């Protein structure tokens, strides 16, 4: 086939020598024909094999049958494309045509020889069980299909092995071959492209570099010097500096605990020296630091420190990694155009904090499991950072809140707790100096502890009073470690009354009575999306399907009080119902043989739940039951008022993320110039 396909297959063969699973490289944009379809087909075939309980082993596929149909179509379509003037993003260059034509001539000659030794005949079509498929009639006749018999048989085998075409029929080759020949006869001369990338104006080249991303810009910049000059502002946009942890486990085997600690500590010294060299190099290159827009600096995590016998942020450990903190501090000061800054597992000095706050173009600050040195007293004018993420995992991480008095323009606030962190909310003294919810438009608070419930209420109540009961919040997600009782929900809703809230997620409440919908509708009648996750008990800490305590119609009846609600999601556990067809199993004494199609035995009635909710809420457009796989339903209404529901086939995660996000994909970050 195509020379590029040959190179890919050769790379896969080398990769599969060491691994039984291989996903080929997939760029941001498909360049050649059928690349996207081929990758999706390969992924589905591997997934299907794994789900069947069979071990997928591509080593048993020497002829490269994975996605072979797309390689064949690509080969034929490329030859046609040169003669019709319509091809892919790889271009219609003369050198590419010479390569494709050389392969086409060799392929056509061998195919012609194969057809000369083939005899066309009709054979019956078999079903998967090996039985002949019969057409209805009197008498029934078998379904026939054209087939080719090759004599000698080894000629076909040699052809398939050479061109890696084990799953294609000769008849399909013949049809495609004749189609290409007709195209060439109609357009004998190939059409080469007259316009190349270098012929485009600089404005378009900059747009292309921006769309390609960092990796694409680097590949284009490596092509020639003019493209290199255009790519410079784009190839240095993203930089990652990290303390590496890459032990060679073959060297670790056989070491006693003392020797292992010495080995990991030596890795720490090597990682520190490597970090310092990389940071010093960047500091010596202002042409690079001026272009950096996204900077991520990562130290050693708690797990890495523990493997070296150290406690994170211990005095001696802090002193050991102090050079790393100082170089990071200076590097931030030398990158004035940073828009996204991430500091993870770091000791952030007071000078580093001031350097961060001084960044005029910073749009997203992410502080993860880091210790901030110094007081919370601001020494710099208020920063205009609109997006703030704070991730705490230990008691020392709470020092990240010392940034807050200087970040008085936060519009997107994301708080996450994990590990042994005692709290996620800012301490009362920080809230007294500045409450972030006064300016926040989108907020996600994930991991609130039981002893923080009063502080959570205080956080919202004080912000509501400061804004005269007009909080700017439009998107809010509150996720609790353990179930939150009804009186806390009531106080939160009272604080949110009068706000601009449109999307609300209450993840983890033991308040499962229908009145919870009444309360939300009364305080927030203009909601567009409502997500409720009910906990069966106070001890439950994870989302799971739940048996809501009242009949579904009682909750549906109350949804009608919303005037603009278009999406409703809850973790209702819809039980599986056996169909009447189960009586046949009963009558046969439940034989061991199972039916071929399991959907004949049971069905999920979640569609009826969606219809019931839509009947009471006329604005509803989507219903999700997160406790059930595939229970996402789109709702439409005919002009006569009848309700139609359609199951949304696809990943539940995809639809869940739109209204109950775990990342920024569905509730995007807010830029300095973005007022959406």
Estimate to the nearest angstrom the gap between the alpha carbon of 293 and the chain centroid.
Answer: 22
Least confident of 317-331, 428-442, 537-551: 537-551
pLDDT value at residue 42: 73
Q: Judge whether residue 377 has pLDDT over 90.
A: no
Which tokens in the block code for residue 150?
């090759």
pLDDT value at residue 382: 64
What's the whole-number average pLDDT of the chain? Answer: 82
Burial class (CB in 10 A: 0-12, 13-18, 19+), 195: exposed
State the Rg of the chain over Cα.
32
Q: Compute how many other C-beta atoms are within 10 angstroms of the C-beta atom of residue 598.
A: 8
Q: Contact at 8 Å (CB) between 555 and 514?
A: yes
The pLDDT of 321-341, averaged and rounded, is 94
Secondary structure of residue 525 in the 3-state scheme: coil
The pLDDT of 401-419, averaged and rounded, is 85
pLDDT value at residue 339: 93
Place of tokens 């990758």: 39
Residue 135 has phi, psi (to 5 degrees) of -85, 145
pLDDT value at residue 605: 59
Q: Which long-range contacts (CB under 8 A, 24 or more apart) does 553-556 make?
A: 553/612, 554/514, 555/514, 555/517, 555/613, 556/612, 556/613, 556/615, 556/616, 556/617
The per-residue pLDDT for range 136-175, each reduced to its tens digit, is 777 888 888 777 788 887 888 888 777 777 655 677 777 8
Residue 438 has phi, psi (to 5 degrees) of -65, -30
- pTM for the model stands at 0.73
The per-residue pLDDT for range 81-127, each reduced to its tens digit, is 898 888 877 788 888 889 889 988 988 888 888 888 888 788 788 77
d(CA 648, CA 565): 19
d(CA 392, CA 344): 10
Sorted by sequence, the CB contacts under 8 Å of residue 101 that are 6+ apart come out as 79
């Amino acid at each position: 086939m195509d020379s590029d396909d040959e190179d890919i297959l050769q790379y896969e063969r080398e990769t599969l020598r060491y691994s039984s699973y291989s996903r080929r490289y997939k760029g941001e944009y498909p360049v050649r024909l059928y690349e996207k379809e081929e990758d999706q087909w390969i992924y589905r075939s591997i997934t299907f094999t794994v789900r069947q309980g069979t071990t997928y082993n591509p080593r048993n596929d020497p002829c490269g049958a994975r996605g072979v149909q797309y390689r064949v179509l690509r080969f034929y379509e490329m030859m046609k494309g040169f003669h019709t003037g319509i091809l892919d993003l790889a271009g219609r260059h003369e050198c590419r045509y010479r390569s494709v034509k050389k392969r086409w001539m060799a392929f056509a000659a061998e195919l012609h020889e194969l057809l000369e030794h083939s005899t066309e005949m009709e054979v019956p079509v078999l079903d998967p069980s090996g039985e002949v498929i019969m057409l209805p009639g009197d008498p029934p006749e078998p379904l026939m299909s054209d087939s080719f018999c090759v004599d000698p048989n080894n000629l076909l085998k040699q052809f398939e092995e050479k061109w890696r075409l084990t799953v294609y029929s000769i008849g399909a080759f013949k049809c495609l071959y004749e189609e290409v020949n007709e195209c060439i006869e109609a357009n004998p001369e190939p059409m080469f492209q007259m316009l190349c990338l270098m012929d485009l104006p600089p404005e378009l080249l900059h747009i292309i570099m921006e769309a390609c991303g960092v990796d694409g810009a680097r590949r284009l910049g490596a092509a020639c010097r003019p493209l290199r000059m255009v790519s410079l502002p784009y190839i240095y946009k993203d930089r990652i500096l990290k303390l590496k942890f890459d032990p060679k486990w073959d060297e670790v085997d056989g070491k006693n605990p003392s020797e292992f600690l010495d080995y990991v500590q030596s890795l720490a010294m090597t990682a520190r020296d490597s970090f310092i060299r990389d940071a010093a190099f960047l500091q010596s290159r202002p042409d690079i630091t001026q272009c950096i827009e996204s900077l991520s600096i990562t130290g050693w995590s708690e797990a890495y420190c523990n493997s070296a016998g150290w406690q994170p942020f211990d005095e001696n450990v802090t002193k050991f990694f102090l050079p790393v903190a100082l170089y990071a501090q200076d590097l931030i000061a030398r990158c004035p155009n940073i828009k996204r800054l991430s500091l993870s597992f770091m000791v952030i000095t007071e000078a580093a904090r001031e350097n961060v706050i001084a960044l005029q173009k910073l749009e997203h600050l992410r502080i993860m499991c880091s210790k901030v040195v110094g007081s919370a007293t601001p020494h710099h004018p208020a920063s205009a950072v609109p997006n703030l993420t704070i991730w705490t995992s230990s008691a020392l991480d709470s020092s990240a809140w010392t940034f807050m008095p200087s970040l008085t323009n936060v519009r997107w606030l994301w708080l996450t707790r994990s590990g042994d962190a005692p709290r996620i909310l800012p301490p009362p003294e920080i809230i007294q100096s500045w409450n972030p919810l006064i300016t926040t438009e989108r907020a996600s608070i994930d991991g609130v502890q039981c002893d923080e419930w009063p502080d959570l209420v205080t956080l919202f109540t004080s912000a509501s009073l400061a804004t005269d009961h007009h909080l700017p919040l439009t998107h809010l997600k509150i996720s609790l470690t353990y179930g939150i009782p009804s009186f806390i929900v009531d106080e939160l809703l009272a604080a949110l009354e009068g706000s601009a809230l449109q999307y609300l997620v209450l993840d983890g409440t033991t308040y499962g009575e229908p009145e919870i919908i009444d309360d939300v509708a009364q305080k927030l009648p203009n909601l567009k999306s409502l997500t409720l996750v009910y906990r069966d008990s106070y001890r439950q800490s994870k989302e799971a399907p739940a048996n809501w305590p009242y009949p579904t119609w009682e909750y549906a009846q109350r949804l009608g009080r919303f005037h603009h609600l278009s999406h409703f999601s809850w973790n209702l556990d819809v039980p599986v119902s056996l169909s009447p067809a189960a009586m046949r199993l009963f009558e046969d004494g439940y034989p061991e043989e199972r039916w071929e199609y399991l959907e004949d035995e049971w069905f999920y009635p979640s569609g009826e739940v969606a219809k019931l909710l839509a009947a009471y809420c006329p604005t509803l457009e989507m219903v999700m039951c997160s406790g059930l796989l595939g229970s996402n339903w789109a709702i439409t209404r005919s002009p006569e008022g009848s309700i139609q529901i359609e199951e949304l086939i696809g990943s539940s995660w995809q639809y869940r993320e739109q209204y109950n996000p775990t990342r920024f994909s569905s509730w995007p970050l807010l830029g300095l110039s973005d007022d959406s």
